[in-house]
Structure 1
Amino acid sequence: MKLPIVCPSCENTLQVSQMKCNDCQTEINGNYNLPLFFKLNREEQDFILDFFLSSGSIKEMAKQAGNSYPTMRNKMDDLIEKINQLKNV
């Protein structure tokens, strides 16, 4: 199941407010921001994971996806730009 990150009513970013241990039932309440990685959509998260699993080789990612290197490089640049924007929010 995908963790929801956007409010279905108003589309603002959701925050974590409670966590619970299933073993001992300890509950932690507060107002916590989601980690940056979880603010990315599933496709962007998969892209980062694929990059990691290809040992950081955009060339290898392009080969596996059947895309050109420039196409994958552009996707990487777009993702870098989005992450930089999210960091500054």
Structure 2
Amino acid sequence: MKYKFPVHCPSCSKTLTVTELSCGNCDTRIVGNYTLPILMQLTAEDQEFILQFFLSSGSLKEMSVQTGKSYPTVRNRLDDMIAHIKELEQK
């Protein structure tokens, strides 16, 4: 079974932070309070959209063909994600 990396608190829905990193080889542990990278704060669906955008060489026209959605729909989705990422950067 493949587990999904949790990004939001199941109790209050706020973004989680990383508090410990460890090495599976030598058991070294680093403890602190680290913010998740912005791309990891996105939903799995948004991360998949970005991956497809990257794999299509940034061609929204190609993504439109691949997803079967209109170009304006894909463009609007990208614009919404850009706005959301800008909000995350300001936090």
Range of TM-score over shorter length: over 0.9
1:11 Cα deviation (Å)?
1.6
* Partner amino acid, structure 2, of 1:66: G
Stretches of structure 2 that go unaligned for 5 or more consecutive residues are: none
* SS of residue paired to 1:12: coil
* Partner amino acid, structure 2, of 1:13: T
Q: Give the ranges of 4+ consecutive aligned residues of structure 1 lying more than 6 Å apart after TM superposition.
A: none
Q: 2:28 is matched with which residue: 19, 26, 29?
A: 26
Is 1:44 the counterpart of 2:16 in the alignment? no
Q: Per-residue CA shift, 1:60-89, capped at 9, x if unaligned?
A: 000000011001000000000000110011
1:3 Cα deviation (Å)?
1.0
- Matched residue count: 89
Deviation larger for 8-17 or 41-50: 8-17
- Give the match for residue 61 of structure 1: 63
Stretches of structure 1 that go unaligned for 5 or more consecutive residues are: none
Identity %: 53
* SS of residue paired to 2:69: coil
Q: Per-residue CA shift, 1:40-73, capped at 9, x if unaligned?
A: 0000000000000001100000000001100100
Q: 1:86 is matched with which residue: 79, 85, 88?
A: 88
- Give the match for residue 8 of structure 2: 6
Root-mean-square deviation (CA), in Å? 0.6
* SS of residue paired to 2:80: helix
The separation in 1 between residues aligned to 2:6 and 2:17, in whole angstroms, is 10
